[in-house]
Amino acid sequence: MSKPIVTYFDFPGSRGEEIRMALVLAGVEFEDNRVNREAFRALKPSLPFGAMPTFEVNGQVLSQTNAIMRLIGRKHGLYPADAFEAARVDALMDAAEDVRHRLTPSMRMADGPEKSAARKQLAEDYLPQWGAFMEKQIGEGPFVEGAKPGLADIKLYMINRWLSGNVLEHIPGTVFDSCPKLKLLSEAFGEVPEIAAWNAKLIFPQ
């Protein structure tokens, strides 16, 4: 089987990085095809849904991040075999995407009072509520499924790293400080040897 190819922006975050991390966690070597905006515009018409990331293996190209992650997870033991537990992981992965969808409108706003108000509402209302729901889902921890990291942990780790990193205006890095299980999951996931080595290579804060 040929080495899989992950195509995404040259950026150590968001959905493309989640797929890279799934492969890193699975111990699968892959071609990390990082493209710029100009290259993406050229590629766009040929992509399954006109968007990245994409995952190519044996000449077949798959799109949609969670679908790609589930494929990797099923093949490499990062996704539950039990149907109900698998659905629970799916729900958490979708919940992580809900955060991105809620933040997207503010990403498109020009700096000013409207953007500030929208972000403040998210930081004071939606995001703490979302974090509280995650606290109920994580269980004994440190990971969603207990001692072993899996797909849901990648998604939750990436959301926490993004929103706790003081990188978004008007979203304080303390937004999830009332969510100890989420914080512990993120810390434990960042310390998984394969992930720690990957992050160190990127010189990117965990």
Question: What CATH number has the domain spanning 83-191?
Answer: 1.20.1050.10
pLDDT digits over 136-161, tens only? 999 998 999 999 999 999 999 999 99
Tell the CATH topology of 5-76.
Glutaredoxin (3.40.30)
Rounded CA separation 18/176 (Å): 20
Which pLDDT score, from 0 to 100, does residue 141 have?
86
pLDDT at 204 over 90: no
Dihedral, CA of residue 196, residue 27, residue 89 and residue 82, to nearest 10: -140
Do 5-76 and 83-191 have matching folds? Answer: no
Strands of 31-35's sheet, edge to edge?
Answer: 31-35, 5-9, 54-57, 60-63
pLDDT digits over 36-72, tens only? 999 999 999 999 999 999 999 999 999 999 999 999 9
pTM, to two decimals: 0.94
Which pLDDT score, from 0 to 100, does residue 202 have?
75
Per-domain boundaries in the chain:
5-76, 83-191
Contacts of 45 (CB under 8 A, 6+ apart): none
